[in-house]
Structure 1
Amino acid sequence: MNLIKVLATLALVLAIAGCGNNSKFRSYDGPEVTQLMLFKEQRQLYLMHGQQTLKKYDVGLGFAPEGHKRVEGDGRTPEGYYYIDKRNPNSKYHLSIGISYPNPQDVEVARSMNLSPGGNIFIHGRGPLYRRGLPDDWTAGCISVKDKEIEQIYAMVEDGTPIAIYP
């Protein structure tokens, strides 16, 4: 009888261990990501170590992807030079890392129109609210990738990493 209990317990432990790690948090011990480069027209995000491409991702942009973000609610993804300034492990879009938009020039342009430049621009996943059939460019100005991809990006990219966003 004891042998049956031991075997049943062992089988249960192995079954639980076989379920794998469902955590969205990954580890990364490869080369440092020294810069991100986003090419909006190609919808490509590159994670770079110097001149070497470590990873490349297809992305979705804001629902009005052409042109530089000027004001809150315009649906555009910013263009220019920024840096990663925060992270949200509890994002409704799975995980997200923040981009330092608006910079002082962005603020000045929006103020000249008596409007807000907006903010809260992130690279994020899709999250549970994402539905198949949405257009590729569906965000309010953020950069979206698949959930498994933001897990990689979240692990690889440190706060303070520069990001260049090209038209």
Structure 2
Amino acid sequence: MKRRHLILGGAAVATLGACGAPSKFKRYRGPEVTGVVVNKAERKMFLLSDSRVMKEYDVFLGFAPEGHKVMEGDGKTPEGVYRIDRRNPNSRFHLSLGISYPNAEDIRVATELGKSPGGEIFIHGQRHPMRKDSGDWTWGCIAVSNDEMENIYAMIKDGTPIAINP
């Protein structure tokens, strides 16, 4: 009888272990993402493989989306060409990919104004995992849904160029 309980108990533990929450870390085996384009006016982000659009996403931007980010706290999303330069699997916003803002020109302009250019600009997920965000709400980042962010995080490699257009 004890042997039967051990076998059934072991099977139950193995079965329950397989029932955990799905991982936020997905695998991607498709074509390489060679570039990202964000069109701020349209609130759209495109993942490209060479010149072909692979995916299109609706995005949220900084709470003051018009114009290029000039200084820390202005609520603007930068404009220009940058790179994805880091990953944050423990982001407050589900997952996030860092954007190489500020570049040398961004630093120069802010310094001439006696200001800090800011930094910590990311593509990231939602503020609240159970509620859908609405309107532009970030401090200059580019936000998508958490489900979309899981796919984007898997697809984009560090070093991928990102063009952020007005």
Relative to the length of structure 1, the TM-score reads 0.89
Match of 1:75 in 2: 75
Match of 2:89 in 1: 89
- Structure 1, residues 58-113: CA drift from partner, whole Å, max 9, x if none? 11000001111111100000011001011111111111000011111111111111
Match of 2:141 in 1: 142
CA distance 1:26–1:49, shift in 2 (3 Å): same
Aligned-partner Cα distance in 2 for 1:156–1:131: 24
Cα shift at 1:14? 3.5
Secondary structure at 2:147 match in 1: helix
- Structure 1, residues 88-143: CA drift from partner, whole Å, max 9, x if none? 111111110000111111111111111111110000001447855x5420000000
Cα shift at 1:146? 0.7
CA distance 1:62–1:130, shift in 2 (3 Å): farther
Q: Do the aligned partners of 2:129 and 2:146 also contact (CA within 8 Å) in 1? A: no
Match of 1:166 in 2: 165
Q: Do the aligned partners of 1:86 and 1:97 also contact (CA within 8 Å) in 2? A: yes
Aligned-partner Cα distance in 2 for 1:116–1:84: 21
Q: How many residues are matched?
A: 165
Cα shift at 1:10? 3.5
Alignment of 1:1-150 (within 5 A): 1=1, 6-7=7-8, 9-10=10-11, 13-17=14-18, 19=19, 22-128=22-128, 131-132=131-132, 135-150=134-149
Question: What is the root-mean-square deviation in Å for CA atoms of aligned residues?
Answer: 2.0
Aligned-partner Cα distance in 2 for 1:139–1:130: 17
Aligned-partner Cα distance in 2 for 1:135–1:156: 25
Aligned-partner Cα distance in 1 for 2:159–2:98: 10
Gaps of 5+ in 2: none
Aligned-partner Cα distance in 1 for 2:130–2:66: 22
Q: Does 1:152 align with 2:146?
A: no
Cα shift at 1:20? 5.6
Gaps of 5+ in 1: none
- Structure 1, residues 130-165: CA drift from partner, whole Å, max 9, x if none? 855x54200000000111111111111111100001
Cα shift at 1:12? 5.2
CA distance 1:130–1:21, shift in 2 (3 Å): closer
Question: What percentage of residue pairs aligned between the two structures are identical?
Answer: 55
Q: Do the aligned partners of 2:61 and 2:143 also contact (CA within 8 Å) in 1? A: yes
Relative to the length of structure 2, the TM-score reads 0.89
Q: Do the aligned partners of 1:127 and 1:147 also contact (CA within 8 Å) in 2? A: no
Secondary structure at 2:87 match in 1: strand
- After TM superposition, which residue ranges in structure 1, 4 or more long, deviate above 3 angstroms? 1-16, 127-132
